[in-house]
């Protein structure tokens, strides 16, 4: 299982009232619907730390979590509440096993922020994270 899948499973389990994988939490893309949704999008991080015989011992990928909410009755506060809850849950990960992989840390690179408004006027909040994951 890859890092994005492991983090997605973790968020779905830890914050099940906010995120359901495949329903409103998506991996590496954010579809147009549902209006209130989140995506974990992987992007390059630092080079892996090698050990003997140049075998990667610790990977350090990064990902961005994007939480969107509509401008209708739910308002932008739902997206902000979702990103804040995920930020606190993810940033607390240290020396934990997620879906069989050891995560030395998941560190937020900044506090959650307003990323953009999509073409439909829905707000998108984001936060970037760096992972230290043992192979």
Domains, the chain, with CATH or none:
3-134 (3.30.2000.30)
pLDDT digits (tens, 9 = 90+) for 41-67: 999 999 888 777 677 789 999 999 999
**Predicted TM-score of the model (pTM):** 0.92
What's the confidence (pLDDT) of residue 16?
A: 96
| Regions in the chain scoring below 50 on pLDDT | none
Contacts of residue 134, Cβ cutoff 8 Å, sequence gap at least 6: 57, 58, 59, 101, 102, 103, 104
By DSSP bridging, strand 37-51 and strand 25-27 are parallel
């Amino acid at each position: 299982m890859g890092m994005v899948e492991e983090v997605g499973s973790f968020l779905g389990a830890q914050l099940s009232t906010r995120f359901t994988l495949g329903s409103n939490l998506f991996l590496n893309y954010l579809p147009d619907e549902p209006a209130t949704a989140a995506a974990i999008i992987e992007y390059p991080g630092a080079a892996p730390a090698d050990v003997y015989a140049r075998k990667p011992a610790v990977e350090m990928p990064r990902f961005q979590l994007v939480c969107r909410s509509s401008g209708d009755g739910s308002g932008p506060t739902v997206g902000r509440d979702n990103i804040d809850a995920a930020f606190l849950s993810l940033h607390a990960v240290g020396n934990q096993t997620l879906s069989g992989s050891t995560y030395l840390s998941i560190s937020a690179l900044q506090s959650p922020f307003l990323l953009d408004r999509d073409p439909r006027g829905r707000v998108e909040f984001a936060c970037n994270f760096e992972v230290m994951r043992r192979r």
